Amino acid sequence: MWRTARTITEARLWRADTQGQARRGTLQRPVRTTVLEAAEALIAGMDDGSILDRSGKPYKPSAARSYAQTLRAYVLPTLGRCRLDEVRRADVQDLVEALRRRGLAPSTIHNVLDPVRVLFRRAVLRDEVLIDPTRGLELPAVRGQRDRIESPENARKLLEVLPDDERALWTVAMFAGLRRGELLGLRWVDVDFDGGVIRVERGWDLYAGEIAAKSAAGVRAVPMAFPVHREVRELKRRSRRDGNDLVFGRTANEPFFPSTVRSRAVKAWSAVGVEPITLHEARHCAVSFFIASGLDLKQVSTWAGHSDIRTTLNRYGHVIPGSERDAADRLTAYLAGPTVAQTVAHPADSAESPAVAGLDEYRYRDSNPGFRRERAAS
Protein backbone atom coordinates (compact mmCIF):
# COMPACT_ATOMS: atom_id res chain seq x y z
CA MET A 1 0.00 0.00 0.00
CA TRP A 2 1.18 3.50 -0.68
CA ARG A 3 -0.10 7.02 -0.36
CA THR A 4 1.13 10.43 -1.39
CA ALA A 5 1.53 12.82 1.54
CA ARG A 6 2.04 16.57 1.56
CA THR A 7 4.85 16.43 4.15
CA ILE A 8 7.28 13.88 5.49
CA THR A 9 5.63 14.11 8.90
CA GLU A 10 2.22 13.29 7.45
CA ALA A 11 3.75 10.34 5.59
CA ARG A 12 5.38 8.97 8.72
CA LEU A 13 2.16 9.30 10.75
CA TRP A 14 0.19 7.49 8.03
CA ARG A 15 2.80 4.71 7.89
CA ALA A 16 2.71 4.26 11.68
CA ASP A 17 -1.09 4.18 11.69
CA THR A 18 -1.18 1.67 8.83
CA GLN A 19 1.37 -0.58 10.53
CA GLY A 20 -0.68 -0.47 13.73
CA GLN A 21 -3.84 -1.53 11.86
CA ALA A 22 -1.90 -4.36 10.24
CA ARG A 23 -0.71 -5.64 13.62
CA ARG A 24 -4.28 -5.46 15.03
CA GLY A 25 -5.72 -7.19 11.98
CA THR A 26 -7.97 -4.26 11.15
CA LEU A 27 -6.17 -3.05 8.04
CA GLN A 28 -8.69 -2.68 5.26
CA ARG A 29 -7.77 -2.94 1.64
CA PRO A 30 -8.98 0.04 -0.40
CA VAL A 31 -12.01 -0.58 -2.62
CA ARG A 32 -13.10 1.27 -5.72
CA THR A 33 -16.78 0.31 -5.55
CA THR A 34 -19.01 3.37 -5.19
CA VAL A 35 -22.32 3.50 -3.35
CA LEU A 36 -24.04 3.88 -6.73
CA GLU A 37 -22.41 0.71 -8.09
CA ALA A 38 -23.18 -1.23 -4.91
CA ALA A 39 -26.80 -0.03 -5.01
CA GLU A 40 -27.29 -1.07 -8.64
CA ALA A 41 -25.80 -4.50 -7.87
CA LEU A 42 -28.10 -4.83 -4.86
CA ILE A 43 -31.19 -3.92 -6.89
CA ALA A 44 -30.24 -6.32 -9.69
CA GLY A 45 -29.63 -9.13 -7.18
CA MET A 46 -33.00 -8.52 -5.53
CA ASP A 47 -34.72 -8.63 -8.90
CA ASP A 48 -33.14 -11.90 -10.04
CA GLY A 49 -33.28 -13.57 -6.61
CA SER A 50 -29.53 -14.02 -6.17
CA ILE A 51 -29.45 -11.72 -3.11
CA LEU A 52 -31.49 -12.97 -0.16
CA ASP A 53 -32.96 -11.20 2.83
CA ARG A 54 -31.86 -11.85 6.42
CA SER A 55 -34.13 -14.89 6.69
CA GLY A 56 -32.47 -16.46 3.65
CA LYS A 57 -35.41 -15.89 1.28
CA PRO A 58 -35.64 -13.91 -1.95
CA TYR A 59 -36.98 -10.39 -1.64
CA LYS A 60 -40.60 -9.89 -2.59
CA PRO A 61 -41.07 -7.88 -5.82
CA SER A 62 -42.78 -5.08 -3.90
CA ALA A 63 -39.88 -4.84 -1.43
CA ALA A 64 -37.31 -4.78 -4.25
CA ARG A 65 -39.23 -1.99 -6.02
CA SER A 66 -39.57 0.00 -2.82
CA TYR A 67 -35.83 -0.26 -2.05
CA ALA A 68 -34.90 0.76 -5.60
CA GLN A 69 -37.20 3.79 -5.56
CA THR A 70 -35.97 4.87 -2.12
CA LEU A 71 -32.29 4.58 -3.00
CA ARG A 72 -32.67 6.51 -6.24
CA ALA A 73 -34.85 9.22 -4.73
CA TYR A 74 -33.11 9.95 -1.44
CA VAL A 75 -29.72 8.24 -1.09
CA LEU A 76 -27.86 8.14 -4.39
CA PRO A 77 -28.11 11.89 -5.14
CA THR A 78 -26.13 12.50 -1.92
CA LEU A 79 -23.88 9.47 -1.44
CA GLY A 80 -23.88 7.81 -4.85
CA ARG A 81 -20.41 9.02 -5.94
CA CYS A 82 -18.70 8.12 -2.67
CA ARG A 83 -16.64 4.94 -2.40
CA LEU A 84 -18.06 2.48 0.09
CA ASP A 85 -15.01 2.70 2.33
CA GLU A 86 -15.22 6.51 2.35
CA VAL A 87 -18.71 6.68 3.84
CA ARG A 88 -18.60 7.43 7.55
CA ARG A 89 -21.31 7.45 10.17
CA ALA A 90 -21.25 11.25 10.07
CA ASP A 91 -22.14 11.16 6.37
CA VAL A 92 -25.20 9.01 7.01
CA GLN A 93 -26.15 11.18 9.98
CA ASP A 94 -25.91 14.23 7.72
CA LEU A 95 -28.28 12.47 5.30
CA VAL A 96 -30.77 11.86 8.12
CA GLU A 97 -30.67 15.49 9.20
CA ALA A 98 -31.05 16.68 5.60
CA LEU A 99 -34.18 14.54 5.23
CA ARG A 100 -35.57 16.03 8.43
CA ARG A 101 -34.99 19.54 7.08
CA ARG A 102 -36.94 18.54 3.98
CA GLY A 103 -39.89 17.75 6.25
CA LEU A 104 -39.95 13.96 5.85
CA ALA A 105 -41.84 12.08 8.53
CA PRO A 106 -39.81 10.01 11.03
CA SER A 107 -41.28 6.78 9.66
CA THR A 108 -40.23 7.77 6.14
CA ILE A 109 -36.68 8.48 7.30
CA HIS A 110 -36.50 5.04 8.90
CA ASN A 111 -37.76 3.52 5.64
CA VAL A 112 -35.08 5.41 3.68
CA LEU A 113 -32.39 3.90 5.89
CA ASP A 114 -33.64 0.32 5.44
CA PRO A 115 -32.01 -0.24 2.01
CA VAL A 116 -28.89 1.65 3.15
CA ARG A 117 -28.53 -0.80 6.03
CA VAL A 118 -28.92 -3.72 3.64
CA LEU A 119 -26.33 -2.23 1.30
CA PHE A 120 -23.67 -1.79 4.01
CA ARG A 121 -24.47 -5.07 5.73
CA ARG A 122 -23.70 -6.75 2.42
CA ALA A 123 -20.52 -4.66 2.07
CA VAL A 124 -19.35 -5.85 5.50
CA LEU A 125 -19.99 -9.48 4.57
CA ARG A 126 -18.00 -8.99 1.36
CA ASP A 127 -15.08 -7.42 3.29
CA GLU A 128 -15.49 -4.18 1.38
CA VAL A 129 -15.84 -2.19 4.61
CA LEU A 130 -14.96 -3.00 8.20
CA ILE A 131 -17.48 -0.79 10.00
CA ASP A 132 -21.14 -0.38 9.17
CA PRO A 133 -21.75 3.41 9.10
CA THR A 134 -25.51 2.96 9.61
CA ARG A 135 -25.07 1.76 13.19
CA GLY A 136 -25.34 4.11 16.19
CA LEU A 137 -27.25 6.86 14.37
CA GLU A 138 -29.46 9.40 16.11
CA LEU A 139 -32.86 8.96 14.49
CA PRO A 140 -36.17 10.73 15.07
CA ALA A 141 -38.63 8.78 17.17
CA VAL A 142 -41.54 7.18 15.36
CA ARG A 143 -44.70 7.83 17.30
CA GLY A 144 -46.84 4.74 17.28
CA GLN A 145 -50.18 5.24 15.57
CA ARG A 146 -52.99 2.85 16.25
CA ASP A 147 -54.73 1.45 13.20
CA ARG A 148 -58.43 1.95 13.10
CA ILE A 149 -60.39 -0.82 14.79
CA GLU A 150 -64.16 -0.92 14.45
CA SER A 151 -66.59 -2.68 16.75
CA PRO A 152 -68.43 -5.67 15.25
CA GLU A 153 -71.60 -3.57 15.09
CA ASN A 154 -69.94 -0.79 13.11
CA ALA A 155 -68.22 -3.37 10.91
CA ARG A 156 -71.61 -4.78 9.96
CA LYS A 157 -72.90 -1.29 9.18
CA LEU A 158 -69.94 -0.68 6.88
CA LEU A 159 -70.68 -3.90 5.00
CA GLU A 160 -74.45 -3.46 4.78
CA VAL A 161 -74.29 -0.29 2.68
CA LEU A 162 -71.91 -1.72 0.06
CA PRO A 163 -73.15 -2.84 -3.36
CA ASP A 164 -73.82 -6.57 -3.62
CA ASP A 165 -70.85 -7.14 -5.94
CA GLU A 166 -68.47 -5.44 -3.48
CA ARG A 167 -69.68 -6.84 -0.16
CA ALA A 168 -68.06 -10.29 -0.31
CA LEU A 169 -64.54 -8.88 -0.78
CA TRP A 170 -64.82 -6.53 2.20
CA THR A 171 -66.50 -9.21 4.32
CA VAL A 172 -63.59 -11.58 3.80
CA ALA A 173 -61.15 -8.79 4.69
CA MET A 174 -63.18 -7.69 7.73
CA PHE A 175 -64.02 -11.10 9.22
CA ALA A 176 -61.32 -13.44 7.84
CA GLY A 177 -58.34 -11.08 7.81
CA LEU A 178 -56.78 -11.84 4.42
CA ARG A 179 -54.13 -9.44 3.17
CA ARG A 180 -54.72 -7.41 0.01
CA GLY A 181 -52.35 -9.55 -2.05
CA GLU A 182 -54.05 -12.69 -0.76
CA LEU A 183 -57.46 -11.31 -1.75
CA LEU A 184 -56.10 -10.49 -5.21
CA GLY A 185 -54.79 -14.03 -5.72
CA LEU A 186 -57.64 -15.99 -4.11
CA ARG A 187 -59.16 -18.65 -6.40
CA TRP A 188 -62.36 -20.63 -6.04
CA VAL A 189 -60.39 -23.83 -5.63
CA ASP A 190 -59.11 -22.33 -2.34
CA VAL A 191 -62.63 -21.91 -0.90
CA ASP A 192 -63.89 -24.98 0.96
CA PHE A 193 -67.55 -24.47 1.83
CA ASP A 194 -67.93 -27.97 3.29
CA GLY A 195 -64.91 -27.55 5.54
CA GLY A 196 -65.81 -23.95 6.34
CA VAL A 197 -62.35 -22.59 5.54
CA ILE A 198 -60.52 -20.41 3.04
CA ARG A 199 -57.10 -21.82 2.14
CA VAL A 200 -54.48 -19.15 1.55
CA GLU A 201 -51.95 -20.60 -0.88
CA ARG A 202 -50.53 -17.59 -2.73
CA GLY A 203 -50.38 -13.83 -3.07
CA TRP A 204 -50.50 -11.41 -5.97
CA ASP A 205 -48.20 -8.57 -6.94
CA LEU A 206 -49.72 -5.91 -9.19
CA TYR A 207 -46.57 -5.89 -11.38
CA ALA A 208 -45.18 -9.42 -11.07
CA GLY A 209 -48.53 -11.23 -11.00
CA GLU A 210 -49.07 -14.37 -8.92
CA ILE A 211 -46.39 -14.89 -6.28
CA ALA A 212 -45.77 -17.22 -3.36
CA ALA A 213 -47.36 -16.49 0.01
CA LYS A 214 -45.65 -13.81 2.10
CA SER A 215 -43.93 -16.48 4.24
CA ALA A 216 -44.23 -20.13 5.22
CA ALA A 217 -46.71 -19.04 7.88
CA GLY A 218 -48.70 -17.24 5.18
CA VAL A 219 -49.87 -20.59 3.79
CA ARG A 220 -52.80 -21.38 6.06
CA ALA A 221 -56.48 -22.23 6.38
CA VAL A 222 -58.71 -19.47 7.77
CA PRO A 223 -62.15 -20.27 9.22
CA MET A 224 -65.20 -18.75 7.56
CA ALA A 225 -67.63 -17.21 10.02
CA PHE A 226 -71.27 -17.32 8.94
CA PRO A 227 -71.28 -13.82 7.34
CA VAL A 228 -68.21 -14.77 5.28
CA HIS A 229 -69.71 -18.12 4.25
CA ARG A 230 -72.98 -16.44 3.24
CA GLU A 231 -71.48 -13.61 1.20
CA VAL A 232 -68.87 -15.74 -0.57
CA ARG A 233 -71.43 -18.38 -1.51
CA GLU A 234 -73.75 -15.69 -2.87
CA LEU A 235 -70.87 -14.21 -4.88
CA LYS A 236 -70.15 -17.59 -6.40
CA ARG A 237 -73.78 -17.99 -7.40
CA ARG A 238 -73.82 -14.59 -9.11
CA SER A 239 -70.41 -14.81 -10.78
CA ARG A 240 -70.79 -18.43 -11.99
CA ARG A 241 -67.06 -18.94 -11.63
CA ASP A 242 -65.34 -22.03 -10.27
CA GLY A 243 -62.08 -23.94 -10.08
CA ASN A 244 -59.00 -21.83 -10.78
CA ASP A 245 -61.02 -18.68 -11.53
CA LEU A 246 -60.19 -15.68 -9.37
CA VAL A 247 -62.77 -15.12 -6.65
CA PHE A 248 -62.67 -11.33 -6.67
CA GLY A 249 -61.10 -10.70 -10.09
CA ARG A 250 -62.58 -8.21 -12.51
CA THR A 251 -62.50 -11.23 -14.83
CA ALA A 252 -61.86 -14.90 -14.16
CA ASN A 253 -58.14 -14.42 -14.85
CA GLU A 254 -57.49 -10.74 -14.11
CA PRO A 255 -57.38 -9.41 -10.53
CA PHE A 256 -59.34 -6.44 -9.31
CA PHE A 257 -57.83 -2.96 -9.22
CA PRO A 258 -57.45 -2.01 -5.53
CA SER A 259 -57.93 1.68 -6.32
CA THR A 260 -61.19 0.97 -8.14
CA VAL A 261 -62.53 -1.22 -5.34
CA ARG A 262 -61.58 1.43 -2.81
CA SER A 263 -63.23 4.29 -4.72
CA ARG A 264 -66.51 2.38 -5.13
CA ALA A 265 -66.60 1.53 -1.43
CA VAL A 266 -65.79 5.12 -0.40
CA LYS A 267 -68.61 6.36 -2.63
CA ALA A 268 -71.09 4.02 -0.94
CA TRP A 269 -69.94 4.93 2.56
CA SER A 270 -69.87 8.67 1.88
CA ALA A 271 -73.45 8.54 0.62
CA VAL A 272 -74.67 7.47 4.06
CA GLY A 273 -72.16 9.45 6.11
CA VAL A 274 -69.98 6.49 7.20
CA GLU A 275 -66.25 6.98 7.69
CA PRO A 276 -64.39 4.89 5.05
CA ILE A 277 -62.01 2.10 5.97
CA THR A 278 -59.13 0.51 4.05
CA LEU A 279 -58.54 -3.16 3.30
CA HIS A 280 -55.53 -3.10 5.60
CA GLU A 281 -57.61 -1.64 8.43
CA ALA A 282 -60.28 -4.26 7.76
CA ARG A 283 -57.62 -6.94 8.31
CA HIS A 284 -56.72 -5.31 11.62
CA CYS A 285 -60.37 -5.49 12.61
CA ALA A 286 -60.59 -9.18 11.74
CA VAL A 287 -57.58 -10.27 13.77
CA SER A 288 -58.70 -8.11 16.68
CA PHE A 289 -62.13 -9.77 16.50
CA PHE A 290 -60.40 -13.17 16.72
CA ILE A 291 -58.58 -12.06 19.86
CA ALA A 292 -61.56 -10.33 21.48
CA SER A 293 -63.81 -13.36 20.99
CA GLY A 294 -61.52 -15.37 23.25
CA LEU A 295 -60.04 -17.70 20.63
CA ASP A 296 -56.72 -19.40 21.32
CA LEU A 297 -53.97 -16.86 20.68
CA LYS A 298 -51.65 -19.34 18.99
CA GLN A 299 -54.44 -20.34 16.64
CA VAL A 300 -55.24 -16.67 15.98
CA SER A 301 -51.57 -16.11 15.09
CA THR A 302 -51.78 -19.00 12.62
CA TRP A 303 -54.96 -17.65 11.01
CA ALA A 304 -53.36 -14.21 10.72
CA GLY A 305 -50.37 -15.71 8.89
CA HIS A 306 -47.81 -14.71 11.52
CA SER A 307 -44.80 -16.87 12.30
CA ASP A 308 -44.48 -15.40 15.81
CA ILE A 309 -47.35 -14.98 18.26
CA ARG A 310 -45.73 -11.79 19.58
CA THR A 311 -46.36 -10.15 16.23
CA THR A 312 -50.06 -10.87 16.60
CA LEU A 313 -50.27 -9.45 20.11
CA ASN A 314 -48.14 -6.38 19.47
CA ARG A 315 -49.67 -5.42 16.16
CA TYR A 316 -53.30 -6.44 16.45
CA GLY A 317 -54.14 -6.78 20.14
CA HIS A 318 -55.94 -3.45 20.26
CA VAL A 319 -58.88 -2.79 22.52
CA ILE A 320 -62.07 -2.88 20.47
CA PRO A 321 -64.25 0.20 21.06
CA GLY A 322 -66.95 -0.56 23.60
CA SER A 323 -65.16 -3.51 25.19
CA GLU A 324 -64.06 -1.57 28.28
CA ARG A 325 -67.41 -2.15 30.03
CA ASP A 326 -67.15 -5.90 29.49
CA ALA A 327 -63.56 -5.82 30.77
CA ALA A 328 -64.71 -3.98 33.90
CA ASP A 329 -67.44 -6.59 34.49
CA ARG A 330 -64.95 -9.42 34.14
CA LEU A 331 -62.46 -7.78 36.50
CA THR A 332 -65.20 -7.10 39.06
CA ALA A 333 -66.28 -10.73 38.93
CA TYR A 334 -62.72 -11.91 39.45
CA LEU A 335 -62.01 -9.57 42.36
CA ALA A 336 -65.27 -10.52 44.11
CA GLY A 337 -63.96 -13.95 45.04
CA PRO A 338 -62.82 -17.34 43.80
CA THR A 339 -66.28 -18.91 43.77
CA VAL A 340 -69.44 -16.94 43.06
CA ALA A 341 -69.65 -13.17 42.76
CA GLN A 342 -73.02 -11.69 43.72
CA THR A 343 -73.99 -8.52 41.91
CA VAL A 344 -77.21 -6.58 41.71
CA ALA A 345 -79.37 -6.07 38.66
CA HIS A 346 -80.07 -2.40 39.33
CA PRO A 347 -78.78 0.83 37.78
CA ALA A 348 -74.98 1.00 37.68
CA ASP A 349 -74.95 4.53 39.09
CA SER A 350 -76.70 3.44 42.30
CA ALA A 351 -74.47 3.44 45.38
CA GLU A 352 -76.96 1.55 47.55
CA SER A 353 -76.59 -2.08 48.55
CA PRO A 354 -79.12 -4.65 47.30
CA ALA A 355 -80.90 -4.78 50.67
CA VAL A 356 -81.23 -1.02 50.93
CA ALA A 357 -82.34 -0.72 47.35
CA GLY A 358 -85.04 -3.27 47.99
CA LEU A 359 -84.15 -5.32 44.91
CA ASP A 360 -84.60 -9.06 45.08
CA GLU A 361 -83.17 -10.04 41.71
CA TYR A 362 -79.50 -10.94 41.65
CA ARG A 363 -77.02 -12.06 39.06
CA TYR A 364 -74.61 -14.83 39.97
CA ARG A 365 -71.34 -15.29 38.14
CA ASP A 366 -69.13 -18.30 38.22
CA SER A 367 -65.46 -17.71 39.05
CA ASN A 368 -64.77 -18.10 35.33
CA PRO A 369 -65.64 -14.63 33.93
CA GLY A 370 -66.53 -16.16 30.59
CA PHE A 371 -69.40 -18.19 32.09
CA ARG A 372 -72.39 -16.47 33.71
CA ARG A 373 -75.57 -17.68 35.31
CA GLU A 374 -78.54 -15.59 36.30
CA ARG A 375 -81.28 -16.44 38.74
CA ALA A 376 -83.68 -14.68 41.07
CA ALA A 377 -82.66 -14.57 44.72
CA SER A 378 -85.04 -16.34 46.97
Q: For residue range 252-302, list pLDDT tens digits in order.
A: 999 999 999 999 999 999 999 999 999 999 999 999 899 888 888 899 999
Range with the poorest average pLDDT among 120-134, 185-199, 249-263, 319-333: 319-333
At 264 the pLDDT is 95
Tell me which of 207 and 367 has the higher pLDDT. 207
Summarised one tens digit per residue, pLDDT across range 214-259 is: 777 789 999 999 999 999 999 999 999 999 999 999 999 999 999 9
Note whether 75 and 95 are within 8 A (CB). Answer: yes
At 28 the pLDDT is 61
Section 367-373 average pLDDT: 39
Based on the fold, state whether residues 360 and 230 are members of the same structural domain.
no
Based on the fold, state whether residues 289 and 236 are members of the same structural domain.
yes
- Residue 183 belongs to some domain of the structure: yes
Q: What distance in Å separates the CA atoms of residue 126 and residue 119, rounded to the nearest whole number?
A: 11
Q: In which band, very low, low, confident or very high, does the pLDDT at 184 lie, cut at 50, 70 and 90?
A: very high
Based on the fold, state whether residues 281 and 356 are members of the same structural domain.
no
- Grouping H, G, I as helix, E, B as strand and the rest as coil, residue 221 is strand
Based on the fold, state whether residues 234 and 343 are members of the same structural domain.
no
Based on the fold, state whether residues 212 and 312 are members of the same structural domain.
yes
DSSP string, 192-218: ETTTTEEEE-EEEETTTEEEE-SSGGG
Percent of the chain with pLDDT over 90: 57
User: Can you list the alpha helix ranges (DSSP code H) found in the chain?
Assistant: 8-24, 35-48, 61-70, 76-79, 89-101, 106-125, 152-160, 164-176, 180-185, 226-239, 258-271, 279-292, 297-304, 309-316, 324-335, 354-357
Of 270, 293, 316, which residue constitutes the final position of a domain? 316
Range with the poorest average pLDDT among 115-124, 140-149, 153-162, 339-348: 339-348
CATH number, domain with residue 30: 1.10.150.130
- Residue 114 belongs to some domain of the structure: yes
Whether 372 has a pLDDT exceeding 60, the answer reads no
Q: What distance in Å separates the CA atoms of residue 60 and residue 311, rounded to the nearest whole number?
A: 20
Section 355-362 average pLDDT: 43
Kindly give the pairing relationship between strand 341-344 and strand 202-205.
unpaired
Based on the fold, state whether residues 311 and 270 are members of the same structural domain.
yes
Range with the poorest average pLDDT among 91-100, 105-114, 194-203, 342-351: 342-351
- Note down the domain range covering 84: 17-125
- Residue 65 belongs to some domain of the structure: yes
Mean pLDDT, rounded, of the chain: 84
- Residue 134 belongs to some domain of the structure: no
Section 182-188 average pLDDT: 96
Based on the fold, state whether residues 263 and 292 are members of the same structural domain.
yes
Summarised one tens digit per residue, pLDDT across range 44-91 is: 999 999 999 988 889 999 999 999 999 999 999 999 999 998 899 999
Based on the fold, state whether residues 184 and 265 are members of the same structural domain.
yes
Tell me which of 349 and 13 has the higher pLDDT. 13
At 354 the pLDDT is 44
Section 131-157 average pLDDT: 86
At 329 the pLDDT is 78
At 89 the pLDDT is 94
At 356 the pLDDT is 46
Q: In which band, very low, low, confident or very high, does the pLDDT at 341 lie, cut at 50, 70 and 90?
A: very low
Tell me which of 123 and 215 has the higher pLDDT. 123
Whether 317 has a pLDDT exceeding 60, the answer reads no
- Residue 2 belongs to some domain of the structure: no
- Residue 195 belongs to some domain of the structure: yes
CATH number, domain with residue 294: 1.10.443.10
Based on the fold, state whether residues 161 and 276 are members of the same structural domain.
yes
Of 90, 107, 125, which residue constitutes the final position of a domain? 125
Based on the fold, state whether residues 157 and 34 are members of the same structural domain.
no
Based on the fold, state whether residues 180 and 273 are members of the same structural domain.
yes
Q: In which band, very low, low, confident or very high, does the pLDDT at 361 lie, cut at 50, 70 and 90?
A: very low
Note whether 226 and 218 are within 8 A (CB). Answer: no
Q: In which band, very low, low, confident or very high, does the pLDDT at 26 lie, cut at 50, 70 and 90?
A: low
Q: Is the pTM of this model over 0.95?
A: no
> Which positions ≥6 away from 212 have C-beta within 8 Å?
202, 203
Section 123-139 average pLDDT: 90
Q: What distance in Å separates the CA atoms of residue 178 and residue 52, rounded to the nearest whole number?
A: 26
Number of domains making up the chain:
3
- Grouping H, G, I as helix, E, B as strand and the rest as coil, residue 75 is helix
Q: Which of 196, 244, 197, 239 is nearest to 219 (CA)?
A: 197
- Residue 7 belongs to some domain of the structure: no
At 246 the pLDDT is 96
Range with the poorest average pLDDT among 127-131, 195-199, 200-204, 207-211: 127-131
